[in-house]
Amino acid sequence: MTTNHLQTPIDRLKGLWPKRAEMLKKELGVSTFQDLLNLFPNRYLDRTQYYKIADLQPTNAEVQIVGKITHIKTVEQQRGKRLVATFTDGTLNMELVWFRGIKWIRESLRLNIPYVIFGKTKFFNGSFSMPHPEMELLEDHERSIRSAMQPVYPSTEKLINSGVTNRVLNSTMQQLFLESKHGFAETLPKPLLEQLKLVSKSEALFNVHFPKSQAHLARAQYRLKFEELFYIQLQLIRKNLLHKSKIRGYPFEKIGDNFNNFFSHHLPFELTEAQKRVIKEIRNDLGSNAQMNRLLQGDVGSGKTIVAFMSMLIALDNGFQACLMAPTEILSVQHFTGLSELSKRLNTNIEILTGSTKTSKRKEIHKKLENGELDILIGTHALLEDKVKFKNLGLAIVDEQHRFGVEQRSKLWHKNDYPPHVLVMTATPIPRTLAMSIYGDLDISVIDELPPGRKDIKTVHRYDANRLKVFHFIRDEISKGRQVYIVYPLIQESETMDYKDLMDGYESIVREFPLPKYQVSILHGQMKPADKEYEMNRFVKGETQIMVATTVIEVGVNIPNASVMIIESAERFGLSQLHQLRGRVGRGAEQSYCILMTSYKLSADAKTRLQTMVRTSDGFEIAEVDLKLRGPGDLMGTQQSGVLNLRIADIVKDSEILKIARSYAMQILKADPNLSSEENIPVKNTYSQLVKYRNIWNYIS
């Protein structure tokens, strides 16, 4: 079947009514033959076994029986009627029962003719019955191409109510295979099929919809999962290679005074081996003729900021400007303070631009930026405004980039005639399999080592009943001169309720830690920027010992003297958020603590999250557990989830297949970048169809 033929609308399929075709399109997005082929079963019912009524057990779930209908009757009941048929297989009798479609079913049933029935049994008063069984004449059953492993397809209530049952989907799929004569074009090169011992495309499609056995199904699924992941990786790697060959970047050819002076005389601490390795990778990118497009991953406190700053100094040494965009004002201020401190002994001009920057100051920044007086600009979304124009932006750094949409980021890249080098940073550790799928078109650097002298944060789980002991512990820490965070959850759907939780919590803390001995700050998203800054500054200066806050302090806040993080209702937070919050402490030389407070009512997932936090502080291990618990779409948020709308593969369960698929995609593209060799014709044809009919492969970003 040609690719063009696969674009045939499904209402052209023999036996599929137009209304049903419309429902399939509306409910499952199935509008063409190709879509129908790619509607893979959710699960399979084993139809290899035939039961005898005499052998049935009350615990039997779904069973298949061969027998005959000997009698049919309609029974009146309080609401409407039910249809009851007596069914026998020669050992015992059982009842088949219908509550809907009685008239049509009664007319279609035939007495004393062998049927195969399939369904869930009920046991009542010593006898079995089967409500709404699937029925097929034995003669048709033996002739059908339906396999022993019966597929169960994705469905919705509306589909079933409109008559598009699993049986209808199954017979529609049979019709598609009969019309296509099982002839589907091969999409992978022959050497690859031979190396990996993969079955052909046609055989895989047939056996995924009509598997002859578990072994046939396993081979078919492996082949289709490999193909799906292979083409995602092929697209991402090709995008990266094309990016490097087509999008020229400013070659930063020299490492000059700014970088060397800072490295030799002003570096505040010894760089870790991981930091040195990452700076080297960035230097190589910046020195090439291609635009850098790199993701920098590093756990909380691993030292990404100094790497970002030293990358900026390379831009400055080559006569270019640099900018850093962060998702929140608090984080922008944090970066500005940190980078100003690092650059104070260097001859560099650095400014900050946020939504609360005053108009007069804003105009001054715009002017300095355009005439080249300003070297480094830190800011929030305010950097994206049309009025913000650089003289020569050479390096754009985006922190926690998954919080920005694609359009927002591209605005930053278009501030120049020539695109700047791009470094995106995240303190959210991303599991390797997810990074390969989400950021497979970026080069990835990982800082996988914490600076020396950092002590592990002691993490414990405590129930609400232990609150008095926790308060006693807080007093002890404050008496040693330490500071404490107490964080309350903020869930968007219920901001008013969460605000109340925060205010109730604040009032109880103030009662427990009264003036004048204790000072308590409060920080939440509904406060004005000036008030937030005031409260934050009080805490930074040590004027307040306790900061009661929502998750606005999740990212980037750096106060070395804060040694205790208490997370209230910790069961309401995701693992990634818990890990980020814990990272706000442990930044000084003293031992730090994280206390997870919860009620006794905990779901299985919540228990797993809390146990994981207590067991490990390794961000990548935590991210792997998070991925297994939440799935990739939830983990990355809606902006990224389209990438992972996979039809058959699962990047968590199929991570090994993903690694193999990426490795082979890389090999093929390195040997034949344009896919022009004869053996890669199937790959080139398939790839061009992916681009042409993108709606089919909507899992490719």
Confidence of residue 557 (pLDDT cuts 50, 70, 90): low
Torsion angle (degrees, nearest 10) of CA 619, 622, 628, 631: -50
Determine the pLDDT at residue 498: 55
> Average pLDDT for residues 643-649, to the nearest whole number?
72
Fold (topology level) of 257-447:
Rossmann fold (3.40.50)
Q: Which of 39-43, 94-98, 586-590, 679-683 has the lowest mean pLDDT?
A: 586-590
Buried-exposed string 4-29: b where 16+ CB fall within 10 A, e elsewhere: eebbbebeebeebeeebbebbbebbe
Locate the domains of the chain by residue range: 1-37+152-183, 48-145, 257-447, 458-616
H or E element that contains 485? strand 483-487
* pLDDT, greater one: 291 or 495: 291
Q: State yes or no: pLDDT of 312 exceeds 90.
A: yes
Determine the pLDDT at residue 548: 93
Confidence of residue 462 (pLDDT cuts 50, 70, 90): very high
Determine the pLDDT at residue 483: 96
Q: Which residue has the tokens 């004869």?
A: 678
CATH architecture for the domain at 458-616: 3-Layer(aba) Sandwich (3.40)
Three-point CA angle 319, 321, 322, nearest 5° = 135
> Average pLDDT for residues 489-496, to the nearest whole number?
55
Percent residues over pLDDT 70 in the chain: 91
Percent residues over pLDDT 90 in the chain: 49
Model pLDDT for residues 83-126, shown as the tens digit of each residue:
999 999 998 999 999 988 888 899 999 999 999 999 889 888 88
Determine the pLDDT at residue 402: 57
> Average pLDDT for residues 165-171, to the nearest whole number?
89
> Average pLDDT for residues 641-653, to the nearest whole number?
69
Computed over every residue of the chain, the mean pLDDT equals 86
Model pLDDT for residues 22-76, shown as the tens digit of each residue:
999 999 999 999 899 999 998 888 777 889 999 888 766 688 999 999 999 999 8
Residue 451 has phi, psi (to 5 degrees) of -60, 150
Determine the pLDDT at residue 397: 94
Confidence of residue 701 (pLDDT cuts 50, 70, 90): very low
H or E element that contains 296? strand 293-298
Q: Which of 196-205, 294-303, 597-606 has the lowest mean pLDDT?
A: 294-303
Q: State yes or no: pLDDT of 696 exceeds 70.
A: no
Q: Which residue has the tokens 């409407």?
A: 80
Determine the pLDDT at residue 393: 93
Give strand pairing partners of 395: 322, 421
Model pLDDT for residues 122-156, shown as the tens digit of each residue:
888 888 999 999 898 998 888 776 556 788 899 98
Q: State yes or no: pLDDT of 2 exceeds 80.
A: no
Please name the residue ranges forming H helices in 247-328: 257-261, 273-287, 304-317
Q: What's the whole-model pTM score?
A: 0.67
Determine the pLDDT at residue 636: 46
Q: Do domains 48-145 and 257-447 have the same CATH topology?
A: no
Q: Provide CB contacts within 8 A for 545, sequence distance 6+.
A: 478, 482, 483, 484, 513, 518, 519, 520
Determine the pLDDT at residue 698: 35
Cβ pair 395, 267 in contact under 8 A: no
Domain 48-145 CATH class label: mainly beta
Model pLDDT for residues 276-289, shown as the tens digit of each residue:
999 999 999 999 88
Q: State yes or no: pLDDT of 694 exceeds 80.
A: no
Count how many residues are written for the chain: 701
**CA–CA gap between residue 491 and residue 370 (Å, rounded):** 41
Determine the pLDDT at residue 231: 92
